[in-house]
Structure 1
Amino acid sequence: MFLLIVVYLISRKLPNLNNFKSLNTNFLTYVKSVMIEITINAESSEGALLQIQDLLGGDLHEHCGELTLRFDNDIAKGCIRCINFDWGVNLVEFDAIFFEDILFVDNHKNYNPIHFSYCSLGNFKHRFENQKEFHTIEQYHSSILVAEKNIQHFTLLQKDKHLIFNSIRIIRKEFVQKRNTQLTELNKKLYEVFVDQHHETTYAYYSPIHLRMEDRVKSLRDLKAEGIIRILQIEGEVYQLLAMHIARHERFENNDPIPHMLLKSELKKVKSYAEKILTEPSLNYNLEKISRECGLSQAKLQEGFKFLYARTVAEYIKHVRLEAARELMNTTDLNISQIVYTIGFTSRSYFSKIFKETYEMTPNEFKKKIILLNEEKEPN
C-alpha cells in the first residue's frame, strides 16, 4: 500500500515561530511541540522526491516513468511513489509512519494546483495559511483543496500513526488544454476552480465517508502488471478516482443526499461481517442472526450491504457461495453434491438453478469445461 500525498516537497528546518504570529495562542503552543517542519518548494514531483531523499535518505528508483522512494530511519519509515501523466495530471502515493509530528508547509507562491486527496488509513490535518483551525481528514474521507497564490497550505501528520494517503494533482494551465474535458459540464463552483489559471481562488471541500473510493484506491495499489500496461492501468484508475471525486462534489453542490446514512463505525461493522461471510460461507446465516451479532438493525444492515456491495444481505451471501463453488470445482475433486453442502446450501436442485441463472451453464457443464481445460494444459 502507498500513502498518497501531494508532494513537491521538501527542505527541512526547525519550526520558526515568527511565521505563525497571526495564529492564536493555542496553535502557537502546539507548534512549539512540533519536532520537524517541512517546507514544500519544489514545483515538480521529481524534485520533491529528491528533496525528501535529501532529508530522509533512502533509495530512489525510476521504472517506466514511475518514481519510488523507500526510506527507513529515525524520522520515518515507508514508501513514496509518484507518476506523472499528460495534461498536468500527477499522482503521488505515500505509505509511511512518522516518528515525530511533521508539519508540511506548502510554500509555493505562484504554482497552486488542485489537490484531490483520499485518506485510506489513519488521518491528517489541513488548513490554509489564513485560517486558525485545522480540519481533520479522517480515514475513508476525501477532500478537494486549492489555494490562491501567496496562500500556503499547512498539513499536519501526527507521529506514531500509520498513514496511507493519496493525492491527484491537477495543474490547471495544462489540463484546460486537454480536448474533451467538458469543463463546462461541471457545477459552477468546481468550474470556477478549474478555469482559475491565475490562482485567485482558495477553496476546500471535505467529503463525508466514501468507502467505494477505497475499493478503487485498493485496485490501484494492487495492480500487478508491468511496463506500458501498468502505466495505462494506473492512468485509467486515476481518472476513475477523479471522476468519483467530482461526482461526490456534484452531489454536495446540488444538495443531493449522500447515498447512505450510516456512521463510519457502522459501515466498518458491515464490512467486517461481510469479510466473515467471505471466509466462512458455509455457516448458517440469516438476517436476524447477523443483525444481532453486528449490533445493527436489519434496515441498517441492508442499507450498508447495498452501499458497499450493491447487493442485499441475501444476495451477497448467495454471490459469495456461488463464487466459492466455482473455486472448489476448479481446484478440488469434490463432486457437485459435496460442494453444495460444503458451501452452505441445503438443496442441490436450488443450487443448480441459481448457478445456471448466474453463469448460464449448469454446475456439471462448468465442471466438464474445467476438466477439458486442465487436460489441454497437461503436457503430451
Structure 2
Amino acid sequence: MINITLNTHQLLDSFKKISQELDANINQTSDCSNLSFSNKFGKGSIKAIKSSNFTTYFEFDVNFNEDVYLNKVVHHDALYSTYCSKGSILCKDDYFKERILKEYTSSLYSLEKENIIEIGFAKNTHYRFSIIEIDQNMNNSLYTKVVDIFSNSKNDSNFLHLSSCNLKIAHYIDQINQLQECNLVNFLLLESLVNKILATNIKYLLEDINLKGTNTSNLSNNDLNKIKEVANSIRLNPGERYTISTLCRETTLSPSKLQEGFKLFNKTTVNEYIRNVRLLKAEKLIINEDLTISEIAYTVGINSRSYFSKIFKEKFNFSPKTYQERFSKYTNISDQLKEDFQTQY
C-alpha cells in the first residue's frame, strides 16, 4: 500500500514528493505540474493546472499495481467539484465519513475546517478522476453564492452533494486533456471548460435535489458504457441515419433502457439529443464552410430543408440563411478570396 499527499497550497512540493514516491517523471512550472510513470508502481499520469481565477484543476489517469491512498488536504472554506469518468472512487473524511463516487457521477462539497479526504485507488484498476478546487479567499463571490444554494443552514457551510450520472462533464474533461501545453491560449480555454464543468455539476445537482431521490436507475455499468459510446458516436457522426431500432441493435439495449440512459446522461431523449447534435454541427458548417443551406442540412442528416430551417430557427432565433448572412466568415468575400482562404486554411 502506498500513501501520497496532495496540498494545493504547497503544490510544487507535493508533486515533487509524489514523483519520488512513484518514481515518476515530472515537469513543472509555476502554474502547471505534470507527472507520468510506467514502472513497478503501475502506469498513468497526474496533473494540476492553476488558472488565473484562483481555481486549480487536478486530473488523475492512473492504474496502480498496488493499492494507493491519496490524502487530499481540504482547505478551510474552499469549494470542491469532483467527477469520476472511469472506475468508482472510495472517499472518506472525518466529517462526511465514507462514500463512493461512481463512474460518470460528480460531487460538490465544502468544509468549514481544514481536513483530509482519503481517496482510494484499488490496484489493477483504471481510474480517471478530476478535482476542481476554488479558493474562496480569492473568489469569494462564487463561493458565497454556491454555499447559499447548497448549505443546510446559514450558520453551516459544510455540505456534500452527489449527482446522478451525466456525460457532459466527461466531454469537457476530454477537451481539457487535449490541452497539452501551458500557454495563454490554453489557460483561457481551461478556465472556460472548468467553468462549464462547475456549471454543469451545479445544474445537475439542483435537478437531482428537486427530484428528491426519485431519479433511480436499473442500468448496469456495462449499459452505461454502451450509452456513452453511442452518444459519442452520434456526436462525431451526426450525418448518419439514426433510428431507435438501429441504435438498439448496435448496443443490444432495449428501447426503454436506451431512452433511460440518455435521460440519465444527457437530460434528454435520444431523438432530442440527435437533433441538438445536428443543429450544433450545422451552426459550425454555416460559419466555417462555403455551403448552401440545403447542402448543410443534408450533411448533418436532415433531408428536408424546410424542417431544418424550422428547428434551426427555434434553437438559434435566426433562419439558417439569416444566420449565414450575419455570421459566416465567407459573407461578402469574392469568389477569388474564398478560393484563397480555403487554400490557406
Asked whether the two chains share a fold, i.e. TM above 0.5, the reply is yes
Q: How far off is 1:308 after superposition? A: 5.0
Give the aligned residue type for 1:127.
Answer: K
C-alpha distance in structure 1 between counterparts of 2:143 and 2:70, whole Å: 35
Secondary structure at 2:193 match in 1? helix
Give the aligned residue type for 1:216.
Answer: Y
Q: How far off is 1:154 after superposition? A: 2.2
TM-score using structure 2 length: 0.70
Contact kept? 2:107, 2:162, Cα under 8 Å: yes
C-alpha distance in structure 2 between counterparts of 1:249 and 1:315, whole Å: 22
Question: Which residue of structure 1 aligns with residue 244 of structure 2?
Answer: 287
Structure-2 change in CA distance of 1:234 and 1:45 (3 Å): same
TM-score using structure 1 length: 0.65
Secondary structure at 2:34 match in 1? strand
Q: How far off is 1:59 after superposition? A: 2.9
Question: Which residue of structure 2 aligns with residue 204 of structure 1?
Answer: 160
Structure 2 runs not aligned, ≥5 long? 313-318
Q: How far off is 1:353 after superposition? A: 4.1
Question: Which residue of structure 2 aligns with residue 81 of structure 1?
Answer: 47
Question: Which residue of structure 2 aligns with residue 122 of structure 1?
Answer: 87
C-alpha distance in structure 1 between counterparts of 2:145 and 2:215, whole Å: 26
Q: How far off is 1:38 after superposition? A: 3.0
Q: How far off is 1:45 after superposition? A: 1.8
Structure 1 runs not aligned, ≥5 long? 1-34, 195-200
Q: Does 1:163 align with 2:127?
A: yes
C-alpha distance in structure 1 between counterparts of 2:50 and 2:300, whole Å: 46
Return the index of the structure with the highest Cα Rg.
1
Question: Which residue of structure 2 aligns with residue 271 of structure 1?
Answer: 228
Structure-2 change in CA distance of 1:209 and 1:321 (3 Å): closer
Give the aligned residue type for 1:244.
Answer: T
Secondary structure at 1:263 match in 2? coil
C-alpha distance in structure 2 between counterparts of 1:180 and 1:63, whole Å: 27
Query: Which shifted more, 94-103 or 255-264?
Result: 255-264
Structure-2 change in CA distance of 1:145 and 1:225 (3 Å): same
Secondary structure at 2:131 match in 1? strand
Question: Which residue of structure 2 aligns with residue 242 of structure 1?
Answer: 198
Q: 2:20 aligns with which of 54, 61, 65?
A: 54
Give the aligned residue type for 1:142.
Answer: S
Contact kept? 1:123, 1:139, Cα under 8 Å: yes
RMSD over aligned Cα atoms:
4.7
Q: 1:140 aligns with which of 104, 129, 134?
A: 104
C-alpha distance in structure 2 between counterparts of 1:126 and 1:309, whole Å: 26
Structure-2 change in CA distance of 1:178 and 1:62 (3 Å): farther
Q: How far off is 1:82 after superposition? A: 1.0
Q: How far off is 1:75 after superposition? A: 1.0
Q: 1:186 aligns with which of 141, 149, 159?
A: 149
Q: How does 1:348-359 map to 2 (within 5 A)?
A: 350=304, 352-354=305-307, 358=312
Q: Deviations over 1:54-97 (max 9, x none)?
A: 21233322357222222222113222211223564322112121
Secondary structure at 1:189 match in 2? coil
